[in-house]
Structure 1
């Protein structure tokens, strides 16, 4: 017995999505014997591009049942069935995710009609549901709605069953919950991983580390590697024999340790740090009238910058926020190119530095405050954040504007005494990437960190 289904979701961050519509057709190999179709209130916002694709919006779902209200029906109609879907990995993950939120372990065998089609219908240009059914002459209505797509999948699956005259492919997929030996190995590897922030290491059977990564949820991120169909992920899946991890307590420590580990270990499948992660910087210059100007441009190793960004858009967004925080001028930050007064002056949000109405000394003092806050050049400071457990704090030590190292403390005097702190921390190389990581983190998390200057 098969439960052929399709799910529409809200879209959004991985494992934070919700189901908006579900259609299940119970199929005995010959005909549909039961069905269940329902909209679902996901209790979260639907991404705009999904609304455009499916036509389902939050207003439509206001009176729809929540998932817990239909969960029993889903369990009943799929009991003893193999879940069949076009890209079954997604639909099955969404079902398990919703049941996990209810504290219920939902497990079913699965079959994917994408994979079956590739084996039974070779040499097709595309295996998307729309193009596949069109080439096969299978009618489909209500495209990108659960009922229409699920019904088309029923017809496609029926054709595939007929194509599989020897029944070898279908039988092999049904054995042992359709879990291959590599899948079993990967499931075993992630069982003991924590849902915590830190760094993880994939090693091959020779003990060589082949990939290093960081995540705010190690277990979830490792699982993403193991379910991805991307070429690099498939290679990682094939060659990974063990997974190790280090909890770091916060993202800054994870980023610094990942940066250090990749450069030291040079894992085979890491490519992220082979390219520049930070391409633009915030620069300051003094114009001919004596005013300090700010501008975002491509990083130049020969010039001093205030802070760095992954792209120009991020830098521009930073300047727009700085206008409000430091009461700066649009013209002197390059956000309003004009020879006259900037727009903010006309609405009384600029004191007139753009037309020399505010004196340079007064204006420049606020620019200096911004620079001093975000640039740690020549500074001595300790960045303190959450530790790996209650009562512990992480520390990053910077002397004369250079990263010295990081570590963990539980006692205040360990932080107050620099000589003791230096004995506790692990030395780190003060490279350009580490500087970018720290500056970016300070910029994004300045309200949650404790920065001690000495």
Structure 2
């Protein structure tokens, strides 16, 4: 669990400030599960420049609760949470200071979205909250008020979680759970898993990932592992400490992320899945007369493929369809040279159809969409977006895209999915 916090203060001498407003959003890594927002009577005057900045004045706070009156609620909502804030050292210091005045030692792990942004968004020009979220196309309301800034920080943190390919943030959370001795039983783990599409990570008591998988229903898939009478199932049941997950909104992103995460993390129970699933391809060849043709063969790393498939039957069906298209497009009475020129132009059309596109698909919730980006035939990555502006503006798209390796496998997964499914919109890029 994460507690995304923003605090407004009176300003003034270091370690003598008072809190004037606090907002806390409790976030489980997927959705908001609780929140607390309140003005606070600091019992000391607010500095004039702070009044001008926040709009909060002394008159507004006369009837607001004092810190000791909300302290219990803050402890409850942040229990077993990592504190997340933009410039976390400031918010955490002020919060600890207020609790210290009450004789309570408030100790938490923290994550700073400024530091995380510098690591995961290195090309951004400035890391001040307002300018940073605007460069990402994230709307922000009530700037310099605790609720508005905390909500902007939450949206930023969601993006950073997606961009954290090394899972540094996730590992911090698991270490926190291990330190606190939180080892949920199998039924408790299942209860906290979603029934949506995404990828999942099964961790042992050291926090190590022992298996990565994907499913259109994460809870159902994990339930099958927890009840399986197989060698892998029993090992998971014996070793599992916790299960983390990442909702992807659609199957294509789940396929790409699962493949990349398995290759990158090399979980001990994913040995078979490290191999490519594509076994047959359609290749360009010539007959004995020198006439171009397409043919199906087992994957051949020495030759450039037109399309790859998981089995021979799929490849043969694709070849049949393309031969029908060729018959319609290229006249039969052409000379060999003219035929070959038009044949190569036909093949280039197939290749160019994947060169510069944005694949728009469902997002993780009803107000969100996702996009995969292909540029000059290379896979650049994916992103989640709320506004069309975010993918139509190249500078914003560059900042929000979650980069993934441009491998032959990733390109084949995308092409294969687009061939088999029709649940997406192709936008020229």
TM norm structure 2:
0.52
Q: Which runs of 5+ in 2 are unaligned?
A: 1-183
Tell me, yes or no, if the aligned pair for 1:396 and 1:407 is still in contact at 8 Å.
Answer: yes
The partner residue of 2:381 within 405, 410, 414 is 405
Deviation at 1:372, TM superposition (A): 2.7
1:306·1:375 contact (CA, 8 Å) conserved in 2?
A: no
Mapping for residues 17-96 of structure 1, pairs under 5 Å: none
CA deviation map 1:330-385 (0-9, x unaligned) = xxxxxxxxxxxxxxxxxxxx8997xx5466657975774465346667x2221111
In structure 2, the partner of 1:300 is 300
CA contact (8 A) 1:282 1:295 kept: yes
CA contact (8 A) 1:193 1:219 kept: yes
Question: Cα–Cα, structure 1 residues 233 and 370, in superposed 2: closer, same or farther, change >3 Å?
Answer: farther
2:186 matched to which residue of 1?
186
Equivalent residue number for residue 231 of structure 2:
231
Distance 1:209 1:232, change over 3 A: same
Alpha carbons 2:358, 2:428 under 8 Å: kept: yes
Residue in 1 that maps onto 2:424 = 449
Q: Aligned-pair distance for 1:432?
A: 2.3
- Secondary structure (helix, strand or coil) at the match of 1:307 reads strand
Q: Which moved more, 1:310-319 or 1:368-377?
A: 368-377
- Partners of 1:371 and 1:312 in 2: how far apart? 23
1:416 aligned onto 2:392: yes
Give the C-alpha shift of residue 244 in structure 1. Answer: 1.1
Write the deviation string for residues 171-204 of structure 1: whole angstroms up to 9, x where unpaired.
Answer: xxxxxxxxxxxxx932221122121110011111
- Is the 2:292–2:343 contact (alpha carbons within 8 Å) kept by the matching residues of 1? no
Return the alpha-carbon distance in structure 2 between the equivalents of residues 376 and 246 of structure 1: 30
Match of 1:435 in 2: 411
Q: Which structure's CA Rg is the greater one?
A: 1
Pairwise CA distance, 1:210: 0.8
Cα 1:312–1:232 shift into 2, 3 Å: same
Aligned twin of 1:372: 349
**What is the correspondence of 1:40-439 to structure 2 with a 5 Å cutoff?**
185-287=185-287, 291-324=291-324, 326=325, 328=327, 356-357=332-333, 361=338, 365=342, 368-369=345-346, 372-373=349-350, 379-439=355-415
Secondary structure in structure 1 of the residue aligned to 2:303: coil
Q: 1:375 to 1:311 in 2, by over 3 A?
A: farther
For the Cα contact (< 8 Å) 2:281–2:315, is it kept in 1? yes
Give the whole-Å Cα distance in 1 for the aligned partners of 2:232 and 2:348. 41
What is aligned with 1:173?
none
Change (3 A) 1:369 1:250: farther
* Partner Cα distance (2:229, 2:217) in 1: 20
Contact 1:199 1:246 in 2 (8 A): yes
**Contact 1:283 1:296 (C-alpha < 8 Å) held by counterparts:** yes
Q: Give me the whole-angstrom Cα distance separating, in 2, the residues matched to 1:371 and 1:215.
A: 35
Higher RCO (C-alpha under 8 Å, 6+ residues apart): 2
Question: Residues of 1 paired with 2:373 and 2:256: CA distance?
Answer: 12
Displacement over 6 Å in runs of 4+: 350-353
Q: How many Å apart are 1:414 and its aligned residue?
A: 1.3
C-alpha change, 1:285 and 1:194, in structure 2 (3 Å) is same
**Quick one: structure 1 residues 372 and 218, their matched pair in 2 at CA, closer, same or farther if it must change by over 3 Å?**
farther
What is the DSSP-based 3-state SS (H/G/I as helix, E as strand, rest coil) of the residue aligned with 1:306? strand
After superposition, what is the alpha-carbon deviation per residue over 1:36-60, rounded to whole angstroms, capped at 9, x for unaligned?
xxxxxxxxxxxxxxxxxxxxxxxxx
Q: Residue 390 of structure 1: SS of its match in structure 2?
A: coil
Residue number in structure 1 paired with 2:80: none
> Partner residue of 2:59?
none
Q: Matches of 1:227 and 1:269 in 2, distance apart? A: 17
CA distance in 2, matches of 1:321, 1:224: 39
Between the aligned partners of 2:344 and 2:228, the Cα distance in structure 1 is 46
**Offset, 1:327:** 5.5
Instruction: Give the deviation of 1:392 after TM superposition.
Output: 1.6
The answer (yes or no) to whether the contact 2:381–2:401 under 8 Å persists in 1 is yes
- Which consecutive residues of structure 1, in runs of 5 or more, have no partner in the other structure? 1-183, 329-349
TM-score, length-normalised on structure 1? 0.49
> How many residues are treated as equivalent by the alignment?
245
Secondary structure at the aligned position of 1:270 is classed as coil
Cα distance between partner residues in 1 of 2:360 and 2:305? 24
Tell me how large the CA RMSD over aligned residues is.
2.7
Q: Answer yes or no: is the 8 Å Cα contact 1:201–1:211 preserved in 2.
A: yes
